[in-house]
Amino acid sequence: MRTTALLCLLLGFSTQSIAQPAAISPRGMGDSSETKGPATLIHAGTVLAVPGNGPQSTMTIVVRGDRVEAVESGHQSAADLGIGSATVLDLSEHFVLPGLMDAHVHLRSQPFDRQVTRGFNRGRTSLTPAQKGVNAIIYARRTLAAGFTTVRDLGSDDQSVFAARDAINRGRVVGPRILVSGASVAVTAGHADTTNVDQNSPTLRMQNAVCDGEAECRRAVRYQAKMGADVIKVTITGGFASNTKLLPQMFADELTAIIDTAHQLDLKVAAHAYHPDAIRDAVAAGVDSIEHGFLVSDDGLRMMKREGAFLVPTISASYPPPFLRQIDPPSVRLRNEYAAFERAYKMGVKVAFGTDAGTFAHGDNAKEFGLMVRYGMTPEDAIRAATVVTADLFGIDDIGTLEPGQLADVIAVTADPLDDITALHSIDFVMKSGQVAKRDGVMLDGMTYPDFVGFSTPER
Ligand SMILES: [Zn+2]
């Protein structure tokens, strides 16, 4: 079962990389507080423990190990709770909520990286895999500092983001937990086909997940799974980053082969799609999420609602980035793309939070909240989209709320985001899996990383 695999991944985090108020001890070793390790008590001014259920003021969140153990009314001491000693984190002036999630990021790069590295690349037009790997580590840390404790990286044409994910999971560097797709599955000359016409070798096609027809497309999915993918990304229309028009690019047999193969492997499928017909084809074939979905029809939205498919609206990326306006692909002539989000929300389609960070600067992910609220979502629903709903899309049931038994992914801000959603632009406190990563607006872990901690923890 998918959840089990992810649970292993989540439990496999090393505890050594982030300064922490409480030492971690293995879970399930016994019942007494002594054997479970010391507790941390978060005294919260206000807490939105379950986004969608409203805030509560003056609460204590009891954290032990990597989990929330209890959420109690009032500011309780260890003696009050009868749990021996505990570290108290005073967030009594703060608004506390679960760690945020972004279902659509590209950690390998962000705008102007090419200019930054041009001197080293001697005329290359793209970053090397090594440069992308370094970027992914830096940008992952920046994303965690912005309050995002779980993200999904959709589309990297090499092993760079797998490497960053694994380094974070082993506690070698600090970052959010990352679900990685690897290369986007695409047809020849499709949106994510990054191979050059004169390098069209079978190996390159496979590495880049380029496939035509049922058999190749099954193999493309299996190859990404073999490389360690947590999710499958497929591009089924053009987009801002290509000049391949916006029409559908895959036949039903290819879509079905990709989605059925992924589901057989217990992997979700995220489809980059603009054109309404492509969206309906993907939903009919059983896709889990439509990414962007800018041109979705009402019929397509009804299908999504009926089938339980999620929209990941990426409003932040609904206006073409400036450098593309010079190239002027057909997609640049799209306008009012946020309308898909507005209509989906009104119709009751499940909307998960996703930004396409990497087409803009990492760490600015929370700006999407302002756009969601501007185009009709309530602040609490926007937060719910980035917690409860995105966890549901990921198929992970122990993140997204602050309830007993959940992973202790906790963030805090100094203003009330239900009053003014832009409060989430400035994150004061971040805890991931029970470990404090950021306090008083400052990341606690410098850029000094611990020695390699070995392979003792499971990788997924
Ligand atoms: Zn994207």
Secondary structure string (H, E, C) spanning the chain:
CHHHHHHHHHHCCCCCCCCCCCCCCCCCCCCCHHHHCCEEEEEEEEECCCCCCCCEEEEEEEEECCEEEEEEECCCCHHHHCCCCEEEEEEEEEEEEECEEEEEECCCCCCCHHHHHHHHHCCCCCCCHHHHHHHHHHHHHHHHHCCEEEEEECCCCCCHHHHHHHHHHCCCCCCCEEEECCCCEECCCCCCCCCCHHHCCHHHHHHCCECCHHHHHHHHHHHHHHCCCCEEEEECCCCCCCCCCCCCCCCHHHHHHHHHHHHHCCCEEEEEECCHHHHHHHHHCCCCEEEECCCCCHHHHHHHHHHCCEEECCHHHCCCCHHHHHHCCHHHHCCCCHHHHHHHHHHCCCECCCCCECCCCCCCCCHHHHHHHHCCCCHHHHHHHHHHHHHHHHCCCCCCCCCCCCECCEEEECCCCCCCHHHHHCCCEEEECCEEEEECCEECCCCCCCCCCCCCCCCC
- The second-level CATH assignment, the architecture, of 2-99+401-443 is Roll (2.30)
Between residues 69 and 199, which one has the greater pLDDT?
69
* Low-confidence winner among 3-17, 237-251, 365-379 (lowest mean pLDDT): 3-17
Expressed in angstroms and rounded, the spacing between residue 400 Cα and the centre of ligand 1 is 23
Residues in the chain: 460
Ligand 1 center to residue 291 CA distance, Å? 8
**Confidence check: pLDDT of 269 > 80:** yes
Å from CA of 202 to ligand 1 middle:
25
Predicted pLDDT of residue 243: 60
> Using CA atoms, how far apart are residues 47 and 331, in angstroms rounded to an integer?
42
Q: What pLDDT is stored for residue 451 in this prediction?
A: 40
Measured in Å, residue 106 CA sits from the centre of ligand 1 at: 6
Phi-psi region of 293 (alpha: psi -120 to 50; beta: other; left: phi over 0): left
pLDDT of residue 158: 79
CA 218 – ligand 1 centroid, Å? 22
Q: Is the pLDDT of residue 228 over 90?
A: yes
| C-alpha 115 – ligand 1 centre gap (Å) | 21
Ligand 1 centroid – CA 135 distance (Å): 16
What confidence tier does 324 reach under pLDDT thresholds 50, 70, 90? low
CA distance 443 to 95: 19
Q: Which of 172-181, 195-204, 375-384 has the lowest mean pLDDT?
A: 195-204
pLDDT for 91 beyond 70: yes
Provide the angle, in degrees to the nearest 10, between the axes of the packed helices 113-121 and 129-145: 150
State the pLDDT confidence band at 329, using cuts at 50, 70 and 90: low
pLDDT score of 174? 93
**What's the gap in Å between 105 CA and the centre of ligand 1?**
6
Kindly give the distance from the C-alpha atom of residue 192 to the centroid of ligand 1, in angstroms, as a whole number: 10
Asked whether residue 339 carries a pLDDT value surpassing 50, the answer given is: yes
Unique residue bearing structure tokens 């100094």 = 414
Å from CA of 184 to ligand 1 middle: 10
- CB neighbour list of residue 25: distance below 8 Å, 6 or more residues apart: 35, 36, 37, 65
Q: Cα of 356 to ligand 1 centre, how many Å?
A: 5
Residue 21: its pLDDT value, please? 42
How many Å lie between the centroid of ligand 1 and the Cα of residue 102?
A: 12
Average pLDDT in the 7-19 region? 40
User: Cα of 93 to ligand 1 centre, how many Å?
Assistant: 37
Q: How far is the CA of 72 from the centre of ligand 1 (A)?
A: 40
Task: Calculate how far, in angstroms, residue 319's C-alpha sits from the geometric centre of ligand 1.
Answer: 13
Residue 81: pLDDT over 60 = yes
Sign of CA dihedral 388, 152, 147, 425: negative
- d(CA 154, ligand 1 centre) in Å: 6
Ligand 1 centroid – CA 292 distance (Å): 8
Please give the Cα distance from 148 to 141 (Å, whole number).
Answer: 10
Between 322 and 406, the higher pLDDT residue: 406
Spell out the residues 6+ positions from residue 389 whose beta carbon is closer than 8 angstroms to its own: 310, 350, 351, 352, 353
What is the Å distance from ligand 1's center to 286 Cα?
20
Min mean pLDDT across 200-214, 243-257, 439-453 is at 439-453
pLDDT band at 331 (very low <50, low <70, confident <90, very high): low
Exposed, middle or buried by CB within 10 Å (0-12, 13-18, 19+), for 199?
exposed
pLDDT digits (tens, 9 = 90+) for 391-438: 999 999 999 999 999 999 999 999 999 999 999 999 999 999 999 999
Which of 64-68, 98-102, 235-239 has the weakest average pLDDT?
235-239
Average pLDDT over residues 77-89: 93
Q: Distance from the CA of 77 to the center of ligand 1, in angstroms?
A: 46
Question: 28 CA distance to ligand 1 centroid (A)?
Answer: 39
pLDDT at 60: 98
pLDDT band at 330 (very low <50, low <70, confident <90, very high): low
For the chain, give every domain's residue range.
2-99+401-443, 100-394
Give me ligand 1 centre to Cα 161, in Å: 14
Distance 415 CA to ligand 1 centre (A): 31
**Which of the pair, 33 or 112, is modelled with greater confidence?**
112
67 CA to middle of ligand 1, Å? 32
Q: At the fourth CATH level, which superfamily is domain 100-394?
A: Metal-dependent hydrolases (3.20.20.140)
pLDDT at 327: 55
What residues pair up with 292 in beta bridges, in sequence order? 273
For residue 43, how far is its CA from the centre of ligand 1 (angstroms)? 38
- For the stretch 344-360, pLDDT in tens is 999 999 999 999 999 88
pLDDT the model gives residue 17: 39
Statement: residue 143 has pLDDT above 50:
yes
Does 277 score more than 60 pLDDT?
Answer: yes
Assign 31 a pLDDT band (cuts: 50, 70, 90).
very low
Cα(104) to centroid(ligand 1), Å:
6
- Give distance in angstroms: CA of 152 to centre of ligand 1: 10
Which is higher by pLDDT, 13 or 211? 211
Q: Give the integer Cα–Cα distance in Å for 333 and 347.
A: 26
pLDDT score of 456:
36
Whole-model pTM over 0.75:
yes
How much is the mean pLDDT over the chain?
85
Q: Which amino acid is it at 324?
A: L
pLDDT at residue 32 in the model: 43
| pLDDT score for 194 | 77
The pLDDT confidence band at residue 335, using thresholds 50, 70 and 90, is: low
% of the chain at pLDDT higher than 70: 80
Burial state string for 17-54 with b = 16 or more CB within 10 A and e = fewer than 16: bbebbbebeeeeeeeebeebbbbbbbbbbbbbbbbeee
Burial grade of 419 (CB within 10 A; 0-12, 13-18, 19 or more): exposed
Mean pLDDT score, 271-280: 94
As to burial, measured by CB atoms within 10 angstroms (0-12 exposed, 13-18 middle, 19+ buried), residue 278 is buried
Residue 396 CA to ligand 1 center (angstroms) comes to 22
Q: List phi, psi (to 5°) of 34.
A: -60, -50
